[in-house]
Amino acid sequence: GEDVEQSLFLSVREGDSSVINCTYTDSSSTYLYWYKQEPGAGLQLLTYIFSNMDMKQDQRLTVLLNKKDKHLSLRIADTQTGDSAIYFCAESMDTDKLIFGTGTRLQVFP
Amino acid sequence: EAQVTQNPRYLITVTGKKLTVTCSQNMNHEYMSWYRQDPGLGLRQIYYSMNVEVTDKGDVPEGYKVSRKEKRNFPLILESPSPNQTSLYFCASSHQGTEQYFGPGTRLTVT
């Protein structure tokens, strides 16, 4: 069955880069997403990548996809305290159903 | 403003007392979905609806019901809540195949 895994915690210093990793099992995934959840709030879509792409960059965010290893990563450059949140990766196939990872709690310290 | 709204935002109830969490979207989206979020488990889909009068089970449907009588509304019904349904619930909507918009969440505690 489908499974998406992430490490639970990541702590970085302000100004450094953060890299959040995700592995998935279903090779038929069409889209892979990164969502951000701030305390007490819903999920906000940060970025997504089609499965036929290797990389996508959007300002401070870089998504890398390694289809062979079924590995997805999100790099946040120049991490700020406002980036502290839970980050979820998610996959979907040709439907609207999202399969979420467990979430990675990013803590940014001064 | 395009949004998904949920009510209530917080609810504490007792075992067995029927409750309904409402979800409404103003974007004319066909697809709506309910998720529950639990620590260490991420978000899991409870039910979804592809359009009016079309609903189907997600991964964890036991103990829940839904209805989709109108396009904008997708209420989640717990006929007889139990403590293991204590969780954070999210409603989401989208046009098929596009970005899903999430509501702000409903934190439910069943004692």
What confidence tens digit (pLDDT) does each residue in A21-70 have? Answer: 999 887 777 889 999 999 888 899 999 998 888 999 999 999 999 999 99
Distance of alpha carbon A59 from alpha carbon A44, whole angstroms: 16
How far are the Cα atoms of A34, A75, B71, B77 from residue A62, in angstroms, in the given order? 11, 5, 36, 40
Percent of chain A with pLDDT over 90: 65
What is the per-residue pLDDT across B51-106, written as a single tens digit (0 to 9) for each? 999 999 999 999 999 999 999 999 999 999 999 999 999 999 998 767 889 999 99
Is B48 in Cβ contact with A96 (below 8 Å)?
yes
- 3-state secondary structure labels for all residues of A41-105: CCEEEEEEEECCCCEEEECCEEEEEECCCCEEEEEECCCCHHHCEEEEEEEECCCCCCEECCCEE
pLDDT of residue A31: 87
Is A1 a residue whose pLDDT tops 60?
no
Is B43 a residue whose pLDDT tops 60?
yes
In a mutational test of the A interface, the residue from B10, B102, B106 whose CB has the highest number of chain A CBs within 10 Å is B102
Query: Residue A95: which pLDDT band, with cuts at 50, 70 and 90?
Result: low
Q: Strands A9-13, A104-109: parallel, antiparallel or unpaired by DSSP? A: parallel
The two three-digit tokens of residue B104, written as one number:
């702000």
Residue of A nearest to B105 (CA): A42
Query: Residue A2: which pLDDT band, with cuts at 50, 70 and 90?
Result: low
Q: Strands B106-110, B10-13: parallel, antiparallel or unpaired by DSSP? A: parallel
